Structure 1
Amino acid sequence: MDELGSLLRSRGMRLTRQRERVMSVLAQCEHATPEQIHERVTADGGPEVSLSTVYRCLEALEDLGVVRHTHLDHRAPSYQLAGHADHVHLVCNDCGSVSEFPLDLAGSLVHAVDEQTGFAVDLTHVALHGSCARCRH
């Protein structure tokens, strides 16, 4: 949290109690929507935090590069710490489970798209949908 405080101060911002609480929840979760983060923040027994405050905290933290969001489905984006964004999300259409696949192993797809189209793909921002091994058997 000290590094986050320094980063925020360098941008003229403060490490508020709300931002600390949001970061604490993200450190405990792999992927969480703003609503899920809000539920956990309000359950910690601290002062009330509104859902709009959680959204503002997430926006500020994402602008700083501390958190990233991914669209796992058609609902609200899921957030995670930026240092944990070195993977592709795999979402099972049948059971809804979310698993992770190392980003470097998806490099051939990214390279092929770039070579053929000149398009630079950011696989950390999206999810690949299909059926997990458990549901296929």
Structure 2
Amino acid sequence: MVVRRAYNTRQRQAVAAFLAAHADRYLSVDDVFGLMRTEGSSVGRTTAYRTLESLSREGEVAKAFVPGGGEARYRLIDPARRDEGQLVCLDCGKVLSLDCEMLVEFTRHVQADHGFSIDPTRTVLYGLCQECMASREAGSDDR
């Protein structure tokens, strides 16, 4: 499959710059559109969606689905960390890099033993970050 690069329009640059400024979280189309509007951008929702999808197809943006929510979320891929997966907090949405030798070993195992190549830029594990776990534990102590 040949991936065509889209035109580098002003709107595309604005969406990419916005994602770069918010690289610590996965954001929905509505998050991107709403926050960009709040910051004074004139990029429309449809343009934001099409740009996010285009960047995802081109491998510039990671696309993930939050369990139970169904809505796609997007995050700019750091070119220096293309071989890492991500940990995503289900409570606050924070993203942590999964730079772990075990993931590399697992990826090799799956390729060698199962004939399947894992794309680490799209490897997402969902759970709770330390802060959210602590918050939940503190909340359960109040009962």
Q: Which residue of 2 aligns with 1:6?
A: none
Q: Which residue of 1 aligns with 2:56?
A: 62
TM-score by length of 2: 0.68
Q: Which runs of 5+ in 1 are unaligned?
A: 1-9
Mapped to 1, the partners of 2:52 and 2:91 lie a distance apart of 29
Mapped to 2, the partners of 1:125 and 1:86 lie a distance apart of 10
Q: Which residue of 2 aligns with 1:79?
A: 75
| 2:88 aligned to which of 54, 68, 91 | 91
1:39 aligned counterpart, secondary structure: helix
Mapped to 2, the partners of 1:81 and 1:93 lie a distance apart of 19
Q: Which residue of 1 aligns with 2:141?
A: none
**Does the 8 Å contact 2:19/2:76 carry over to 1?**
yes
Q: Which residue of 2 aligns with 1:49?
A: 43
Say how many residue pairs are matched. Answer: 125
TM-score by length of 1: 0.70
Q: What does residue range 1-137 of structure 1 map to in structure 2 within 5 Å?
A: 14-30=7-23, 31=25, 32-46=27-41, 48-65=42-59, 67-71=60-64, 73-74=66-67, 75-81=71-77, 83=79, 84-93=81-90, 96-102=93-99, 105-134=102-131, 135=133
Displacement of 1:85 in angstroms is 3.8
**Does the 8 Å contact 1:26/1:80 carry over to 2?**
yes
Aligned residue type for 2:17: S
Identical columns (%) = 27
Mapped to 2, the partners of 1:122 and 1:58 lie a distance apart of 19
Structure 1 residues 64 and 130, CA, compared in 2 at 3 Å: closer, same or farther?
closer
Aligned residue type for 2:11: Q
Mapped to 1, the partners of 2:78 and 2:9 lie a distance apart of 19
1:69 aligned counterpart, secondary structure: strand
Cα deviation 1:51-95 (Å, max 9, x = unaligned): 111111123333444x22231513322221351544211134566
Cα deviation 1:19-69 (Å, max 9, x = unaligned): 1210110110113322222123212324x322111111123333444x222
The alignment's C-alpha RMSD in Å is: 2.9
